Amino acid sequence: EETPKAKKKATPKKKASPKKKVAKGTESSSDEETPKAKKKATPKKRKSKSTTSDSEDDDSTTTKTTKKKSSSSPKKKAKAADHQRWTERMPLTRLWNPETAMTSKGSYTFTVISWNVAGLRAFIKKQPDALANLAQRYQADVICLQEHKLQDVHLDDPKLKIREHFEEKLGGFESHWSYSTTKKGYSGTAMFIRKRGGGDDASKKGKKQAKIGAFFTSKNKEGDEATKGDSIGDIPVSHLQPLNVMTELGLPKHDGEGRTVTAEFPLFHLTNVYVPNSGQKLDRLGYRTEEWDTDFLNKMQQLEKGKPVIWLGDLNVAHNEKDTWNEGAKHLVKSAGTTPQERASFDQQLGAGFVDAFRHLHQDAMGHYSYWSQRAGNREPNKGLRLDYFICSKDLMEDDDDRKVVVRDSYMVPDELGSDHCPIVLEIEIKK
């Protein structure tokens, strides 16, 4: 009988189940001690420990993480502050009015346009009227193209009809081509120079341009401007005609890639150039900065001994922070066009007595780029680089009574589509 009583006394211990309820916690219970031990083992501390270890794997600590997050976020902000992000295109004041110059001073405005078309065959398929419209809009005297990627056989290919295309669209211009002979579908430059003289169709096109093409000014070449025999206004037509055009530098180690066309005019030399890209892996950086840049500068200095020089085109360098939307980004020092070596080499060229026309005339202008990565979709947000330039002899930037030629304005045309570059424009006053 003792045993059952003992059992009865033991069974009430089951009433300890209320204690379990109060303890809220122990779910299975053949033994009370185990739950209590579990209670101690499963305190919130242990839960926090497990949480901590999980977050250490993901974000490296919870309690520490919160501190780290608060301390790490300012670091990110500090990095962002160091990394320029300039996408606003500041308003640009136009410095020159060609029509006013003609009527008030008797001066002629010689307009040069440069554009890297990134493959001419694809370009004229996408934008067949772009060059003709550009010539009309700005009343161009010279249009320079870079990276046309053609071979000489392509011009007269009956399937491509490229020569026919330009005879139709730019019939008032004489074309001069330089091709890459070392590599097909690569590089290449071209220069279109307005024809002069009473018999050609340049004057006819001039009359059309007066109606169609006045974006900044209503002047038209040889149309609305008073033409007297062999002069336009008070300017001899001979001043506007090239004396000679060369499609090589005369340097065999560089001429195989078709990178230059040089026209000698009576008052200045004009060289269209497509400077070699250093490459994604910078495999041509040494060639570009130590050979090409040096030899090309020497050539320009030789030409300058006779008369002032303008060289223009895609120079494949963003000179400084004003020419780069994301100056300070770590990858720039290892990216073609923004390496310290390329920038230093460009500095040397400018230091030899030449001037970046746009930056000289618009010193504080920001957000004026000429190239945007299509792959990254950077054009619309204006995340660009300024890679295209007009570089001029210092003499051309100075205005006094003895100067017959003065550079008056330079600007980009970012709304003109068809390439990952946009056209750039130079306006030169030729005085009577």
Active site residues: 274, 314
- Are the beta carbons of 112 and 140 closer than 8 angstroms? yes
- Burial-class residue 386 by CB neighbours within 10 Å (0-12, 13-18, 19+): buried
Alpha-helical segments (H) within 352-396: 357-361
Q: Is 196 in contact with 282 (CB distance < 8 Å)?
A: no
Collapsing DSSP to helix, strand or coil, 232 comes out as strand
Please report the sign of the dihedral spanned by the C-alpha atoms of residue 64, residue 70, residue 75, residue 76: positive
The tokens describing 419, both together, are 């390439």
Q: Which of 180, 115, 106, 104 is nearest to 145 (CA)?
A: 115
> Which stretches of 159-215 are assigned E, i.e. beta strand?
173-178, 189-194
The position carrying tokens 């890297």 is 116
**Closest C-alpha to 429, from 235, 224, 212:** 235
Q: Which of 243, 250, 246, 248 is nearest to 268 (CA)?
A: 243
CA distance 324 to 85: 9
